Structure 1
Amino acid sequence: MDTVGIGIIGCGNISGAYLKAMASFPILDIRGVADLNRSLAEAKAAEFSVPAKNVDELFDDPKVEIIVNLTIPKAHVAVGLKALEAGKHTYSEKPLGINFAEGKKLAEAAKAKNLRIGAAPDTFLGGGHQTARALIDKGMIGQPVGGTATFMCPGHERWHPNPAFYYEVGGGPMLDMGPYYITDLVNLFGPVAQVAGFAIAPRKVRTITSEPHSGEHIPVHVPTHVVGVMAFANGAIVQIGMSFDVAGHKHVPLELYGTEGTLIVPDPNHFGGEVQLLKKGGSFEVQELTAPYADANYRSLGVADLAYAIRCNRPHRANGSLALHVLEVMEAFQAASETGRTVTIATETQRPAALSDSLIDGRLGK
């Protein structure tokens, strides 16, 4: 099978994880990395033995089929549109866009040009989450009833070298961390039908404590504590809490309830982790992981699946429909908070196909 040429735009904090993981997938041919800051591109190129190029060179390279867009959130759609205009498929870091309107614009442009778009997170394809899905699909928790999804921390200014964008439009805990949780929930339960919620920003200014900007102040332009409820099309009701204002908590990331059992799902920011199942009348038991990609950080698994999907002429899993649906759901929490009303979700999407086999074991049509 022919390899698929990859051009990476954006050489910030997350790019190293992508470049390292891409070595796991022989179908991916990294044609170059680019960044507006040339020195960043050259540093990543040297570290991973790939070419450093400028953005236009990647767009003009006929062997680049997929642009992997690792820029900051507010640039995701602009870069994606340029990639589509250059005739490239595009896969971006999460979220798909900083609001639903621009995400929809990207999706419509891709459809018009008969090109594919995809977006992180792809962690739902990891062995921990696919094992949890298989248990649900086998009826091990019975009829889905509800659950909780929780990410709460004091804020990213404690550790990130350049944390300001987390507090700009397009940032905040819901758009930053919500994609992991909501995407995994769509993988597990299917699409969301309605959203209710509240969103606040207790502090208008944050102080950086990480280097190299320790002591500097960041203005806050987005809600930093968001709570709400998602009503899924399958009837389940899931409570969600996303916060950059909580010192600590004891909630597990994802806990799902059914008429016959309860399932503890691993942290959706990771590919693996422990899956626990409690059957009614019993106690929690650790489950054997039955799916691949649970033993490392495979951040680029969605890109590899997209590449194989192009070659095998099948749907890819971390697709634009899924990403746009998740973006609409996340935006709905703010709308619900501002209006005091429940928001009906307009987009339709399907649960992505389960990933029970390795992408590289020869069964590529799945």
Structure 2
Amino acid sequence: MGDPHRVGIVGLGFISRAYLDTLANHPAVRLTAVADLDPTRSAAVAAELPGTEAISVEHLLGSADVDTVLNLTVPAAHAEISLRAIDAGKNVFVEKPLAVTFPEGREIIDRAAAAGVLVGCAPDTVLGTGAQTARAAIDSGLIGRPLSASAVMITPGHERWHPDPDFYYTAGGGPLLDMGPYYITALIHLLGPVRTVLGAASRLRTERVIGSGARTGHRIPVEVDSHVSGVLEHVNGALSTITTSFDGVATTAAPIEVHGEIGTLAVPDPNHFDGETRLFPLGGTGWRTLPLSAGYTGAGRGTGLLDLVTAGAQRAPRAGGELALHVLETMTALLRSADEGRRIELTTTAERPSPVPLTPVDESLGRSPEGSGRPPE
């Protein structure tokens, strides 16, 4: 089956632990190198992983022992690190969002295509049994023709639990760019690509107070909108409404609901891989939970990278760069719409990724059929 695909990780902050839990002992990949601006952090991670070297970012990006760079830096650095990796001939898998701005995201995809390397991007949670079971229900006609959907994410703000939440309130942060990728990616898996958007946004607080860690009580400025609402018009004619907010305490709304001619689906939280999909049929008397019918079981953060490097020539990666670019344009267009007060037509589109059969992640993503995992010629 060839050697495991060689992965180097740049950025070892809060989210890296979830990726390490998935990738560290997976037979399809080998973590050959890690790098962080804090060398003590990279040294500590490397010490946990036999055969993994703690090196500088520059050394990692140029290493002949790295096939794919897993970019877990803060959003503002996503484009810089991804472009440097691409220019070094590496595949890239990026933590969401693909970039802070749409032009940066466009450049990542274009430069990767010119270099003949692959780009993947989180979120990969939509490849789990939650969103995939809901998609299978829609595709099988269980709710009839889908007409509309709603997506709701409301929290008091990440400063309550994150010890260093500053970047959530600077360029590239905010509830839409931070959490919107989960919801919009799921909506595209469920209903297909987006054609136009109309947005509104607000920023009613100028600062936040850190609630945990060594900086508890420290005040940080809010430089981005903290509540964003919008309407997405999908190519198939369905309308989705979305609300993402760091300005609420709680909500009773389902994370995602899809309404069709003969039924409504309640879709589980797209920030998780699993969860119950529930159906309320037309003329029914209550909700019923659907059995799991699709998706990677036992999946965790990094499943999208595994899907990318094992796709080979048989199919496109399900967490691929073109989808991530379309999601990024959808979000940045919503923010631009809110700022300009007008409807905006998107310039990108994306194919719905191929559905994921109900399969244990370790069985379907065992080893790369391409050996090194390099893109096909």
Q: TM-score range by the shorter chain?
A: over 0.9
Distance 1:226 1:31 in 2: 40
8 Å contact kept, 1:19–1:48: no
Taking only aligned residues, the RMSD between alpha carbons, in angstroms, comes to 1.6
| Amino acid aligned to 1:78 | E
Q: CA deviation at 1:59?
A: 2.0
Distance 2:364 2:155 in 1: 41
- TM-score, normalization: structure 1? 0.96
Comparing 337-346 with 4-13, which one deviates more in the overlay?
337-346
Task: Specify the alignment match of 2:194 in structure 1.
Answer: 192
Q: Secondary structure at the match of 2:311?
A: helix
Corresponding residue to 1:284 among 268, 284, 287 = 287
Distance 2:135 2:250 in 1: 28
> What is the aligned-residue identity percentage?
45
Alignment of 1:1-366 (within 5 A): 1-2=1-2, 3-23=4-24, 25-49=26-50, 50-282=52-284, 283-295=286-298, 298-310=300-312, 312=313, 314-356=315-357, 357-358=359-360, 360-361=362-363
| Amino acid aligned to 2:146 | P
8 Å contact kept, 1:16–1:44: no
Q: CA deviation at 1:26?
A: 1.1
- TM-score, normalization: structure 2? 0.93
8 Å contact kept, 2:119–2:320: yes
8 Å contact kept, 1:144–1:235: no
8 Å contact kept, 1:11–1:41: yes
Q: CA deviation at 1:128?
A: 1.2
Q: CA deviation at 1:60?
A: 2.6
Distance 1:294 1:203 in 2: 41
Q: CA deviation at 1:143?
A: 0.5
Distance 1:46 1:260 in 2: 55
Q: CA deviation at 1:248?
A: 1.5
How many residue pairs get matched?
Answer: 363
8 Å contact kept, 1:144–1:234: no
8 Å contact kept, 1:123–1:270: yes
- Cα deviations by residue, 1:101-157 (Å, 9 ceiling, x for unpaired): 111011111111111111100011001111111111000010111111000011010
Distance 1:260 1:27 in 2: 42
8 Å contact kept, 2:160–2:211: yes
4+ long deviations beyond 6 Å: none
| Amino acid aligned to 2:112 | A
Could you list the runs of 5+ residues in structure 1 that have no partner in the other structure?
none
| Amino acid aligned to 1:44 | V
Q: CA deviation at 1:340?
A: 1.3
